[in-house]
Amino acid sequence: MTTKVLVTGATGFLGRHAVPILRAAYGPDAVVGVSSKDYNLLERSQVQAMFDDHKPEVVVHLAAYSGGIGINRAKPADFYYINTILTAHVFEAAAHLGVRKLLYPFGGCSYPADATSPIDEGQLWRGYPQPDSAGYSTAKMMGLVAARSYRTQYGLNATTIIPGNMYGEHDNFRKEESHVVPAMVRRYYEAMLENKPFVEMWGTGKALRDFVYAGDVARTLPFFIDSFDESGPVNVSSGTSTSIRELAETIAKLVGFQGEIRWDATKPEGQLVKLFSADKLHGLGLSCATSLEDGLRSTIQWFNAHYATAGDGLRL
């Protein structure tokens, strides 16, 4: 059997957005999604079995071990080890087994901790990333070294992209593991359910970030598969700026939380400005244009529909 597009990590957050979009682009039977339950990609033999079983023309390699800052602090070695092996195994197999295209994302946390916003792709190697997540971010960034190396030595057409701060349906809403948007959605949603008079937030709320709807990132994938034959990376983000205060107020409004939002300026709030340049993306004729309010509305509708019944599969 030859599978046109094989998606690893298909049960993850981005994978659940990517598979339907790839099926719409290439046909429902042309795209196969796999997870760790199908093949444990830490085992070289299972990576080989995956390629033997599917003989993919295109691999979208989304399998990774990822999470929020708390779990990154607790398990930096696991983040380093697992992501290094997942990256190395899939590139090595793809290069030797005739894959026409390999598409690989890594995160904006790979940029130097002191990068200047808006952060463009040229800043990637200019400094060490934020130390709390460096195990994860440097391991993931090796995908770019792999893309360039395997392109040079084996002619593998590998492309890397850097999705920004993604949010959307199917995100990881677990308390210990979540990123800022799902953590806030859950917090305000539960505060609404419990009728809490206030929610206390760390910092002033003035820090600026750009957020990108995962559906928008997924919609760019066919372009990177078919029409972009460079190693990258390309930032895939909205290129817009949102304050944490605006994010909190928008989420509070959309979940129906009517209490007060209290800002504790004595608590840390991270870098004041961290935004990604979308110039290169726009130069390719692509954009991630879903408004924050529209993207959050869909995310919260999904969260609301799954909150009471979700099993571990939805990671609530």
Ligand X SMILES: NC(=O)c1ccc[n+]([C@@H]2O[C@H](COP(=O)([O-])OP(=O)(O)OC[C@H]3O[C@@H](n4cnc5c(N)ncnc54)[C@H](OP(=O)(O)O)[C@@H]3O)[C@@H](O)[C@H]2O)c1
Which residues have a catalytic role annotated?
Answer: 136
DSSP H helical segments within 158-209, as ranges? 180-193
Contact set for ligand X, span 82-121 (CB under 6 A): 105-107
Tokens coding 198:
């206030």
Tokens coding 162:
């850097």
Please identify, among the stretches 8-16, 21-29, 95-103, 272-280, the one whose residues bind ligand X according to the rule CB under 6 A.
8-16
Candidates 5, 22, 41, 71: give the one binding ligand X (CB under 6 A): 41
Give the nearer residue to ligand X in terms of CB position, either 166 or 316.
166
* 130 near ligand X (CB under 6 A): no
* 295 near ligand X (CB under 6 A): no
Give the nearer residue to ligand X in terms of CB position, either 41 or 255.
41
Contacts of 197 (CB under 8 A, 6+ apart): 259, 260
Tokens coding 116:
């200047």
Instruction: Tell me the closest approach of the beta carbon of residue 24 to ligand X, in angstroms.
Output: 19
Candidates 163, 222, 232, 295: give the one binding ligand X (CB under 6 A): 163
* 14 near ligand X (CB under 6 A): yes
Instruction: Tell me the closest approach of the beta carbon of residue 286 to ligand X, in angstroms.
Output: 16
Q: Phi and psi of 10, rounded to 5°?
A: -70, -20
d(CA 284, CA 295): 23
- If we measure between CA atoms, which residue out of 217, 229, 282 comes closest to residue 58? 229
- Parallel, antiparallel, or unpaired for β 101-105 and 260-264? unpaired
Q: What's the full length of the chain, in residues?
A: 316
* 56 near ligand X (CB under 6 A): no
Comparing every residue's Cβ against ligand X, the nearest one is 12
Q: What are the beta bridge partners of residue 31?
A: 5
Write out the residues near ligand X by the rule CB under 6 A: 8-15, 35-37, 39-42, 62-66, 105-107, 140, 163, 166, 172, 179
